Structure 1
Amino acid sequence: MLGQLVNGRAEAAVEAGDRGLAYGDGLFETLAVVGGQPRLWDYHMDRLLEGARRLGLPEPPLTTLREEARYLVQGADRAVLKIVLTRGAGEGRGYRPPARPLPTRLLSLHDAPLHPPEHWDGVDVRLCRTRLAAQPALAGMKHLNRLEQVLARGEWRDPAIAEGLMLDDNGLIIQGTATNAFAVQGRTLITPPLSLCGVAGVMRRYVLEQAEALGLGVEHRGLYPEELGGVAEMFLTNSVIGLWPVRAVANRPLAVGPVTRRLQEAVAGEALAPAGGRG
């Protein structure tokens, strides 16, 4: 870790009784830092505000977060900034939220992940056994409860597999362990609606906006794994990597086509694409 601030203090620590630690009672955002600037800042803050509203947290102090982020990222050419907002310490033990919560904010700066540059040319992915449970009250939110993703990501160690796709209880593809999933059919993008489970990624939102600007259609629906043989292209997104084309799912090959490449170029400046590489 390159640096951190807890409620604005570099030497402070999170209390042992913080509800974020005890119950996952909070939210987080993970931002790419390029050239000393956190990318897609407004998009991340929009999602943080919406998540806080849905969880009943006090409105995040956006001006303070911006100032603290600027302090941490100064001089960082390529890095990752993580922002965590919890409900703070509770009134003793128990699940009941405090009537007047005092939120904890934690900002930390990390080295850019060492993904192979070849990932931006195409990745192999697997299907995960761990399913995503339906919970409309939390669907789409970037909350701190990520045990489903932890279990799914623990299913493989093979470095040749870049990501795993997670299904819902009906067997529909919802997302990757840390990515959103898109399929391409003609000039239409197909992506799950995320109304029952999954995370509505910031890069997903950005890609959907770029698709509209490029005249591409969008269809919000899930896909069964066996349907992938009938799609033209597939790709994965998140706010750190930008966009990875998918060249195979569970050893079934897919084409890396022109729609994927065009969108990859459109989002390249907002993520940690490899220097001199694709994206």
Structure 2
Amino acid sequence: MPMPQVPFDDRGLAYGDGVFETVLLRDGVPVLWDYHLARLEQGCRRLNIPLPTSQQLAQVWQSPPAAALEVLKLILTRGSGGRGYALPDHPEPRLIFRRTPFVTNGQRWQHGVCVRLCHLRLGHQPLLAGIKHLNRLENVLARQEWQESHIAEGLLADQSGEMVEATSMNLFWSTEGRLLTPRVNRCGVAGTLRAALLANGVIEEEGLTVSELPQVERLWVGNSVQGVWPVCELLDTQGGLIATWPVLAGPDPLQREAHRLLGYPSVFLASESK
């Protein structure tokens, strides 16, 4: 399906004035759809953008699937108009979307991944924290920090040295058997898989500093499309190895619960070191 043309004066293009969702479709049905709708509604309230109707939102996915697994990218902008940053008197939001077939990365589920710390520190803006707004330049800059194919993700801390997230995934860890995730009340994205795990009592929110990160029992990154990747190697901002975690010989506790929510298999991780 071709992407519709966006007018030159669209506020999402000009200012990042909008929100988006990236949704896993299984046999044409959105996974964790209620959590995506809740975040979309919150983003629209924060930015004061009229929310599309339920019928309009349903039309973006209620068509025959092209593959068993697809990714739906949904973008909602405030539309066109207004003078400079001033809002249009009568905004007409623009909803565009695209569906593409998706293939999971079972190797990363099973054998784990290498991640690195990013130089970039996230700025604090509580009014935008948690929502998936269209201005993601911090993430774009952070992703430029490495090109090595064996590095799966970059981890981001905020300006005070608290861990927040990965560039396109949420961050999880375990301490004394507890499954934890950083708070995202000052910056970062509140992922829908993260929200579902919190709602089901699987994880708790807690603070974690950059210096504490290498000492955690286990580390994971995950989102509602890719599932959960165990972290086996952590690199510093220069690419030097600062921590390793052995792959598990049995079921991964976080992956088991997360993949149940997504309809993915919970794999047994290889017992040998990476």
Short-chain TM bin: 0.7 to 0.9
- Aligned in 2, Cα 1:242/1:172: closer, same or farther, shift over 3 Å? same
The answer to whether structure 1 residue 65 and structure 2 residue 57 are counterparts is: yes
- Aligned in 2, Cα 1:137/1:260: closer, same or farther, shift over 3 Å? farther
The answer to whether structure 1 residue 198 and structure 2 residue 188 are counterparts is: yes
For residue 222 of structure 1, what is the aligned residue in structure 2? 207
Matched pairs, number: 262
Q: Which segments of 5 or more consecutive residues in structure 1 lack a partner in the other structure?
A: 6-11
Contact 2:227-2:262 at 8 Å conserved across structures: yes
- Aligned in 2, Cα 1:181/1:49: closer, same or farther, shift over 3 Å? same
How far off is 1:82 after superposition? 0.6
How far off is 1:266 after superposition? 2.4
How far off is 1:225 after superposition? 2.5
For residue 160 of structure 2, what is the aligned residue in structure 1? 170
- What SS does structure 2 have at the residue aligned with 1:156? coil
Aligned residue type for 1:230:
Q
- Aligned in 2, Cα 1:167/1:260: closer, same or farther, shift over 3 Å? farther
263-272 vs 246-255, which moves further: 263-272
For residue 268 of structure 1, what is the aligned residue in structure 2? 259
How far off is 1:264 after superposition? 1.2
Spell out the pairing of 1:126-137 with structure 2 (5 A cutoff). Answer: 126-137=116-127
Contact 1:183-1:232 at 8 Å conserved across structures: yes
Paired with 2:113 and 2:167, the residues of 1 have a C-alpha distance of: 14
How far off is 1:269 after superposition? 4.9
Paired with 2:249 and 2:78, the residues of 1 have a C-alpha distance of: 45
How far off is 1:183 after superposition? 1.1
The alignment's TM-score, normalised by the length of structure 1, stands at 0.86
Paired with 1:174 and 1:36, the residues of 2 have a C-alpha distance of: 32
Paired with 1:64 and 1:32, the residues of 2 have a C-alpha distance of: 18
- What SS does structure 2 have at the residue aligned with 1:263? helix
Spell out the pairing of 1:38-117 with structure 2 (5 A cutoff). Answer: 38-71=30-63, 74-91=65-82, 93-112=83-102, 116-117=105-106
- What SS does structure 1 have at the residue aligned with 2:62? helix
- Aligned in 2, Cα 1:68/1:149: closer, same or farther, shift over 3 Å? same
- What SS does structure 2 have at the residue aligned with 1:148? helix
Spell out the pairing of 1:244-259 with structure 2 (5 A cutoff). Answer: 244-250=229-235, 251=241, 252-256=243-247
Q: Percent sequence identity over matched residues?
A: 40
- Aligned in 2, Cα 1:29/1:154: closer, same or farther, shift over 3 Å? same
Q: Deviations over 1:176-204 (max 9, x none)?
A: 00011011012312221111100000011
Contact 1:187-1:259 at 8 Å conserved across structures: no
More helix by share: 1
Contact 1:45-1:62 at 8 Å conserved across structures: no
- What SS does structure 1 have at the residue aligned with 2:108? helix
1:152 pairs with one of 128, 142, 145: 142
1:139 pairs with one of 129, 132, 147: 129
103-112 vs 59-68, which moves further: 59-68
Paired with 1:70 and 1:111, the residues of 2 have a C-alpha distance of: 15
Contact 1:140-1:200 at 8 Å conserved across structures: yes
The alignment's TM-score, normalised by the length of structure 2, stands at 0.87
- What SS does structure 1 have at the residue aligned with 2:36? helix
Paired with 1:110 and 1:180, the residues of 2 have a C-alpha distance of: 22
The answer to whether structure 1 residue 29 and structure 2 residue 21 are counterparts is: yes
- Aligned in 2, Cα 1:223/1:259: closer, same or farther, shift over 3 Å? farther
Contact 1:153-1:177 at 8 Å conserved across structures: yes
- Aligned in 2, Cα 1:148/1:66: closer, same or farther, shift over 3 Å? same
1:185 pairs with one of 162, 175, 191: 175
